[in-house]
Amino acid sequence: MTRRSGPGPRPSAGRPVGSTTDQRLLDSRGDSDWVHTDPWRVLKIQAEFVEGFNDLAEVGPAISVFGSARIQPDHPAYQLGVEVGRALVEADFTVITGGGPGAMEAANKGASEAGGESIGLGIELPWEAKLNDYVNFGLNFRYFFVRKMMFVKYSQGYVVLPGGIGTLDEMFEAMTLSQTLKITTFPIVLMGVEHWTGLLDWMQGTMLSDARIKQSDIDMLTLTDDVEEAVALMVAARERHA
């Protein structure tokens, strides 16, 4: 695969500073101009789906790695991401990330330096303009929901490094889709015991004790700092579905 650029942020006359395509699609304020513009947006959305399906159709067994874009190279979680990316490639997986800096860059770096496929699925954001330097095949998306579908459709598992709101969104979406049988269940590994323990304790002590979730929901998640354990779970899942 070769690196390519897709539809990224572009300046436009009359466009609010910092706005994104998603924001303009979902903003219901304004006059009746939406009646005329939204049908055309549907065609743009369709084009993103077609492009994503076309370009990712031949990707082999892949694992998506998520994590904070704010993690710096001197942070322990960055090195953990590099080790995860490298180990996944050594286990014959393609590595997919959001293509940004921080933990995503770390996983792409590990995958690239190990000689594997290092994919980045970027998103139009006001503060991120390009894919990281370790992506050897990349797509940029205007719409979050299209991009998120590509992660789910082409991944056989998720590795979730320490992160913030976006990382939580990706983790909980996978759990929701699995819980509601919208996708075939795949492993979700949380890496960073210190970072994630508080969340799991809260889920156990509040959500589970109030019968808002079941133990089987929590059991979707594996918490570890062990890269070998994380990769072994992905390999076992691949073999089960072979």
Confidence class for position 1, pLDDT limits 50, 70, 90: very low
H helices of 155-214, in order, are 165-179, 193-202
CA 140/CA 17 separation, integer angstroms? 20
In a domain, 179, yes or no: yes
Q: Which of 19-28, 147-156, 217-226 has the lowest mean pLDDT?
A: 19-28
Domain count, the chain: 1
In a domain, 9, yes or no: no
Is 100 within 8 Å of 122 (Cβ atoms)? yes
Q: What is the pLDDT of residue 130?
A: 86
User: What is the average pLDDT score of the chain?
Assistant: 88
Structure-block tokens of residue 134? 């370790």
Confidence class for position 28, pLDDT limits 50, 70, 90: low
The CATH number for 123's domain is 3.40.50.450
Q: Average pLDDT for residues 223-241, to the nearest whole number?
A: 96
State the Cα angle at 162 between 158 and 167, rounded to 5°. Answer: 60
In a domain, 190, yes or no: yes
Confidence class for position 9, pLDDT limits 50, 70, 90: very low
Residue 3 to residues 99, 119, 237: CA-CA distances in angstroms?
12, 9, 29
In a domain, 7, yes or no: no
In a domain, 191, yes or no: yes
Q: Which helix (H) or strand (E) holds 208?
A: none
Q: What is the pLDDT of residue 33?
A: 61
Q: Average pLDDT for residues 207-226, to the nearest whole number?
A: 97
Task: State pLDDT tens for residues 178-189.
Answer: 999 998 889 999
Q: Average pLDDT for residues 84-88, to the nearest whole number?
A: 98
Q: Which helix (H) or strand (E) holds 211?
A: none
Structure-block tokens of residue 169? 């969104």
Coil, strand or helix at 22: helix
Amino acid in the structure at residue 157: G
Burial category of 166 from C-beta neighbours within 10 Å (exposed 0-12, middle 13-18, buried 19 and up):
middle
SS3 content of the chain, % helix, strand, coil (to 5): 50, 15, 40
- Nearest residue to 16 via CA among 5, 29, 2: 29
Q: What is the pLDDT of residue 22?
A: 65
Task: State pLDDT tens for residues 163-179.
Answer: 999 999 999 999 999 99
Range(s) of the domain holding residue 152: 21-240
In a domain, 211, yes or no: yes
Task: Centre a 10 Å sphere on the Cβ of residue 161 and count the other Cβ atoms it contains.
Answer: 27
Burial category of 64 from C-beta neighbours within 10 Å (exposed 0-12, middle 13-18, buried 19 and up):
buried
Confidence class for position 32, pLDDT limits 50, 70, 90: low
In a domain, 74, yes or no: yes
CA 74/CA 72 separation, integer angstroms? 5
In a domain, 125, yes or no: yes
| Res. 12: pLDDT tops 50 | no
| Res. 25: pLDDT tops 80 | no
Task: State pLDDT tens for residues 111-164.
Answer: 999 999 999 999 988 776 689 999 999 999 999 999 999 999 999 999 999 999
Percent of the chain with pLDDT strictly greater than 70: 84
Q: Average pLDDT for residues 38-56, to the nearest whole number?
A: 90
